[in-house]
A and B are shown apart, each in its own frame.
Chain A
Amino acid sequence: MNKNNQNSSRPALSNYVFRPEFSSLLILIVMFTITAILQENFFTLKSIVRNINAFAPLILLAMGAAVVIISGGIDLSAGSALSLFTCVLTTVMKKSDPITGVYAILVTLAVAILVGVVNGFGIGYLRIPPVIVTFATSYIWLGIGLFLRPTPGGESVEWFRIFYNPGMIEGIHPYIKQFGRVIPPALILILAACLIWFIVSKTRIGRHIYAVGSNSESAYASGINTAKVQMQACIINSIFIFLAALFFVGQNQSGDARMGDPLTLRAIASAIVGGVAISGGKGSVYFALVGALILNFVNKIIFFADISTAYQTLVSGLIVIIAIAAPVAYTLYSKE
């Protein structure tokens, strides 16, 4: 009675077209083209580097958001966590003492893991709806951030610029300076995140993140510690946010308890546009990167087309709806 086996091993084109990743790629190509047309010096090295730097934070947060969403959760505290990490970095560091930079990185990394644990504990072990629990923790991170940095500021060591533009560090070796001109550190941070995810996705943790997000009851019945897996997903997210914080402090040399707020929803939107299903268990972290690129290009287009920046949120809202409606509408249309 199994008639559906016949062609299943040969992937039909229709299998790909209906997938959300396909429409996100299409949209990306469109956005990329329009931006390239509008921005005159788009293909110059300087401009590419500047774009990568501008896009990096959202990309990192979007990838982190994707991991959490795939595991069945959602993180509304991402922006606050990012702010908190910048505050911790700039509080531990003392401009005059280069070694404090290393301490700062270690301490902030520990804080990041703790943030992931607290979120993961609430989502996984306490089984509080993720929307609400990360809403609560966003205030905790904000409170601690404000405690450390009531006003934006703080100190940073000189060599922290290596996370943004090594060329700005005095007395830096010319090779490194040249390298940083061509391959911006932001790109390296993004690649680091991709590498982390690449490794995770090939391990048990990666498989289990998808399993738990798809059906946590079944995963539990199969002997998987679902709470632990969701916590692991939150920790991975925190580490990606940590990388973004390194970039920010490298760029601005200061910390700010509220700087990350606008990024939270944009990160989630990026993941969704990139094809991650909000219900969990489906989607690709790499395509969340695509989603972040799309949203970033949209802002660039609005800027270069001289449209009022007031329309930024409007257009990104429309993009999200188009991105999620397109595969569905196409499926419905082709069924008739």
Chain B
Amino acid sequence: MNLGISMFFERYKKIIVAFILIVLLFALGGIIVPNFLTVEQVLFTLKLASFTALFALCQMIVIAAGGSGLDLSVGYAATLTAVLTASVMDGQNANLGAAILIALALGSAIGLANGALVSFLELPPLVVTMAMANILQGIVNAYTAGRNITGRPSPILATLAAKSTGKFPNILFILFTITVLVMIVLNKTKWGTILFGVGSNETTAYLSGINVKAVRCVVFVISGILASLTGLLLIGNMGIAFKDMASNYVMPSIAAVVVGGVSLTGGDGNYIGVILGAIFLQALTNLLIAFGLGDAGKWLAFGIVLYVLLSFYASDRRSR
């Protein structure tokens, strides 16, 4: 079935490319840097990439709904959650339930605010979520002003996020479970179809009876909730909460979506590609650190590689 195979390659072209690139990166690292290609190192890279991948899931869902969707507030949503729940958990498992409830409430509130402004007032998502990030940052700053954030995460979180079972970082299990769930929901359920329809063509979706505004609002709520829960995992991983703990994940989460081949205009959503994108970015960063280039060389190379990679990815947009 030639048509089938060629169509398969068409659709998954970018994912295949991402996968090959990752293999190349690891191979390169393995050759040049001692110990780069050990199982521990690879798993460590995957572990770090998991957090980016979780934030990237937030982005992917928002982006998939179309309308130039983007969520720049995921970083501070996670940070605020971590900061607020740190003292609630206080190092006890008993309080984890309360912490989770707080995370859910906070994430929903943030997402609802974002969603209402974007969907019902039709304000641009880039600006709204950027402003929301500022607002959340202000709250974090005000809350932590002058005092250190005391409070340790519940041990369960530390186990899930920081520790490993044997050689396998536990967070990879979480990521795997989430991936399976996400792929099933997106591809096999009506909600996935509705999401892709709304992102593909909102007018057609609307005339087919879908409440487009509600969908576009709900995706922000989902993003907010996911970001907040990821905040719990972050504090579990790091052991403490601090002001900038998630800021460095925001832009890479968007980059992971692009590198993963998901269209920024919406209607598309292959989480596996996005995860590969996150892994690629993390592997690249680790490789550059391992090269011993120091900060200057590391960032310069990172920027150049990303720029070059993007120029190939965007090639199909160039044909007129």
Do A and B touch (CB < 8 Å)? Answer: yes
**Which residues of A approach B to under 8 Å, CB–CB?**
74, 76, 122, 125-129, 131-133, 135-147, 150, 220, 265, 268-269, 272, 277-279, 308-318, 320-321, 324-325, 328-329, 332
B76 to chain A, nearest CB (A): 9
Q: Which residues of B contact A141 (CB under 8 A)?
A: 303
A interface SS class? helix
Q: Tell me the complex Cα distance, A150–B297, Å.
A: 11
Q: Is the CB of B310 within 8 A of A314?
A: no
Across the interface, name the chain B residue whose C-beta is closest to A129: B264
- B138 CB contact (under 8 Å) in A145, A272, A278, A311: A311
Q: Mark B123-137, 1 if CB is under 8 A from A, else 0.
A: 110111011111111
Chain B residue numbers with a CB within 8 Å of A265 are 130, 134
State which of B142, B294, B295 has its C-beta within 8 Å of the C-beta of A314: B142
Residue of B nearest to A314 (CB): B138
CA distance A193 to B144 in the complex (A): 40
**For the complex, is B254 an interface residue (Cβ under 8 Å from A)?**
yes
- B314 contacts A321, C-beta separation under 8 Å: no
CB distance from A198 to the nearest CB of B (A): 27
Closest Cβ of chain B: how far from A231's Cβ, in Å? 15
Inter-chain contacts of B11 with A (CB < 8 A): none
Chain A residues contacting B124 (CB-CB under 8 Å) are: 277-279, 324
Please state if B141 and A310 are interface contacts (CB–CB under 8 Å).
Answer: yes
The one of B127, B128, B306, B310 in contact with A126, judged by C-beta atoms closer than 8 angstroms, is: B310
Quick check: A324 and B314 within 8 Å, CB to CB? no
Residues of B within 8 A of A268 (CB): 127, 130
With A313-B138, A314-B137 known as contacts, the answer to whether A321 contacts B128 (CB < 8 A) is yes
Known: A143-B302, A272-B127, A317-B131. 17 other contacts (CB 8 A): A76-B251, A127-B318, A129-B264, A131-B126, A136-B255, A142-B299, A146-B299, A146-B300, A265-B134, A308-B142, A310-B138, A311-B138, A317-B133, A317-B138, A320-B131, A321-B131, A325-B117
Of A126, A135, A138, A279, the residue contacting B314 (CB under 8 A) is A126
B304 smallest CB distance to A (angstroms): 6
Q: Smallest Cβ distance from B273 to chain A, in angstroms?
A: 15
CA distance A312 to B303 in the complex (A): 31
Q: Which residues of A contact B320 (CB under 8 A)?
A: 220
A126-B314, A146-B299, A311-B142 known; A131 and B70 CB under 8 Å? Answer: yes
Which B residues between 160 and 190 are near A, CB-CB below 8 angstroms?
Answer: none
Q: Are A147 and B296 in contact (CB under 8 A)?
A: yes
* In the bound complex, CA of A120 to CA of B105 (Å): 42
Query: Which chain A residue lies CB-closest to B300?
Result: A143
In the complex the two chains form, is A317's CB within 8 Å of B300's CB? no
Residue B291 at the A interface, CB < 8 A? no
Does residue B139 face the partner (Cβ distance < 8 Å to A)?
A: yes
Interface residues of B in 276-320 (CB under 8 A from A): 294-304, 306-307, 310-311, 313-314, 317-318, 320
Q: How far is the CA of A126 from the CA of B127 in the complex (A)?
A: 25
A140, B300: Cα distance in complex, Å: 4
Instruction: Please indicate which of the listed interface residues B122, B136, B294, B300 has the most CB atoms of chain A within 10 Å of its own CB.
Output: B300
Contact, CB under 8 Å: A317 / B142: no
In the complex, the answer to whether A128 meets B314 with C-beta atoms within 8 Å is: yes
Query: Residue of B at shortest CB range from A227?
Result: B318
> When A139-B300, A143-B301, A320-B127 are in contact, do A312 and B310 touch as well, CB less than 8 Å?
no
